[in-house]
Amino acid sequence: MTYLLLGAAFASVAFLTRSIGITLLAAGMLYLIKERLLRAALIFAAVAALCSGPWMLYSRTHAPTPEQRQEQQGYIVSNYADQFWQRMAGDSRAGQIRLSELPQRVWKNTAQIASDNVGMLMAWPLAMVIGPGGLAVLSVLLSLVILLGYVSAVRERITAAEILVPLSLLLTVLWPWDTTRFIFPLTPLLVYYLIVGVGAIMRRLLRNSYTLSKEGPLGAMSVAAWVIAALAIIGNLQYISLMDHPRFKMVGEQGRQAEVEAMLQWVNEKLPNDGICASLNPALVYLYTGRKTISGQELIKDWEAWQRMDVRYLVLTSPYGVPERDSAGNKINILYQSKRDPSVRVFDLGSKVTRANWDPSATPR
């Protein structure tokens, strides 16, 4: 009973942390039903409802109004149903797809998983040795071995993991976003299926050898496990060594995050508390600064809304083309710009009474 309650609670936490965690709840329920543990399934569902139900009700009753959606104009206020049909979730500028285009999305995401994600997760250190093309071939081969291992595991026994993996992959290939972040949490299971797949291949190769049929697969699985562990250790050591490299500090993810944090600290200290900001990542700006921040997805289209709401500052955390001058020929004022990453910057749009509109023909910077 303790494990059942903890499982439902942890699955609910995963769901509240990342919505794709709903596959954990579904897998747990389906497994208990498959095992004909109906009482346990009801308890699992009740605990999950108690843990995640209040937030679900709150988010539904406090859903953004049409006016708020129009004001914010960003992915934060769009629901999953709307994002599903967008070409890129949260990017309204990319347009929407039709039902007939869904198979193309599934194929694209599946290809990314099989030819890129799996190889990067299992053998990232080899990428610099064999190149992108070689890594793609290796990734496909590893994916086939993982598929064989999954089939072998299913034939032996279907556990909650064997239900979770296809459910997670199904949502991943259907969703219009980069697949990496959704595949990464499945890494332990993918490693397990890879090792099982190696054992299955060895059993097939040695099926006519009675003396080797028992020790051969186990030895091959052990070798596979050690190779995966060695590659993981090498990959982490390479990453740690790069952290001390000056160029890595300048352009690496950690260095970039440091530049963004430094800019937001500057915003928090230098800009007035009542100054309204626009940003591609309004949630991040608000989290660090407490300033009212709206989404700024399109400079030209959003200008009238910014004017109406008296948006004064444009806070950018990523590359974004901003005109060098406005329609009156005045230079756009840059209040802050990172020396290491020039795309991290803050613009002062000026007073709404005196500022001119953006000039769409001006050279972006």
3-state SS of 139-165 is: HHHHHHHHHHHHHHHHHHCCCHHHHHH
Residue 274 included in any domain = yes
Residue 353 included in any domain = no
More confident residue, 173 or 128: 173
Tell me the two tokens of residue 182.
């959704």
**pLDDT-derived band at 305, boundaries 50, 70, 90:** confident
> Are 235 and 271 members of one domain?
no
**pLDDT-derived band at 356, boundaries 50, 70, 90:** confident
Residue 321 included in any domain = yes
**Domain end call among 244, 274, 303:** 244
> Are 235 and 294 members of one domain?
no
> Are 217 and 259 members of one domain?
no
- Give the per-residue pLDDT at 127: 82
Q: Identify whether the C-beta of residue 255 lies closer than 8 Å to the C-beta of residue 288.
A: no
More confident residue, 324 or 44: 44
Mean pLDDT within 207-216? 57
Q: Which residue do the tokens 């859903």 mark? A: 63
Q: Judge whether residue 365 has pLDDT over 60.
A: no
The total number of residues written for the chain in this structure = 365
Lowest mean pLDDT among 32-36, 58-62, 66-70, 338-342: 66-70
Mean pLDDT within 232-253? 70
**pLDDT-derived band at 189, boundaries 50, 70, 90:** very high
> Are 261 and 330 members of one domain?
yes
What range does the domain containing 213 cover?
101-244
The tens digit of pLDDT for each residue in 100-121 reads: 999 999 999 999 999 999 999 9
Q: Judge whether residue 90 has pLDDT over 90.
A: no
Among 24-38, 87-101, 247-261, 278-292, the range of highest mean pLDDT: 24-38
> Are 108 and 197 members of one domain?
yes
**Domain end call among 244, 264, 299:** 244
Rounded to an integer, what distance in angstroms lies between the CA atom of residue 46 and that of residue 131?
50
**Domain end call among 188, 219, 244:** 244
Mean pLDDT within 314-322? 81
> Are 240 and 257 members of one domain?
no
**Domain total for the chain?**
2
Q: Judge whether residue 339 has pLDDT over 80.
A: yes
> Are 107 and 232 members of one domain?
yes
The tens digit of pLDDT for each residue in 20-32 reads: 999 999 999 999 9
Residue 50 included in any domain = no
3-state SS of the chain is: CHHHHHHHHHHHHHHHHCHHHHHHHHHHHHHHHHCCCHHHHHHHHHHHHHHHHHHHHHHHHCCCCHHHHHHHCCHHHCCHHHHHCECCCCCHHHCECCHHHHHHHHHHHHHHHHHHHHHHHHHHHHHHHHHHHHHHHHHHHHHHHHHHHHHHHHHHCCCHHHHHHHHHHHHHHHCCCCCHHHHHHHHHHHHHHHHHHHHHHHHHHCCCCCCCCCHHHHHHHHHHHHHHHHHHHHHHHHHHHHHCCHHHHHHCHHHHHHHHHHHHHHHHHHCCCCCEEEECCHHHHHHHHCCCEEECCCHHHHHHHHHHHCEEEEEECCCCCCECEECCCCECEEEEECCCCCCCEEEECCCCCCCCCECCCCCEC
Residue 29 included in any domain = no
Residue 85 included in any domain = no
> Are 113 and 217 members of one domain?
yes
pTM score of the predicted model = 0.80
Q: Judge whether residue 61 has pLDDT over 60.
A: yes
> Are 185 and 290 members of one domain?
no
> Are 112 and 238 members of one domain?
yes
> Are 217 and 258 members of one domain?
no
Q: What is the largest CA-CA distance in the chain?
A: 88
Residue 47 included in any domain = no
Pairing of strands 293-295, 333-337: unpaired
Which residues are CB-neighbours of 5 under 8 A, at least 6 positions away? Answer: 43, 47
> Are 127 and 235 members of one domain?
yes
Q: Judge whether residue 172 has pLDDT over 90.
A: yes
Residue 86 included in any domain = no
Name all contacts of 2-6 with Cβ < 8 Å and 24+ positions apart.
4/40, 4/43, 4/44, 4/47, 5/43, 5/47
Residues β-bridged to residue 335: none
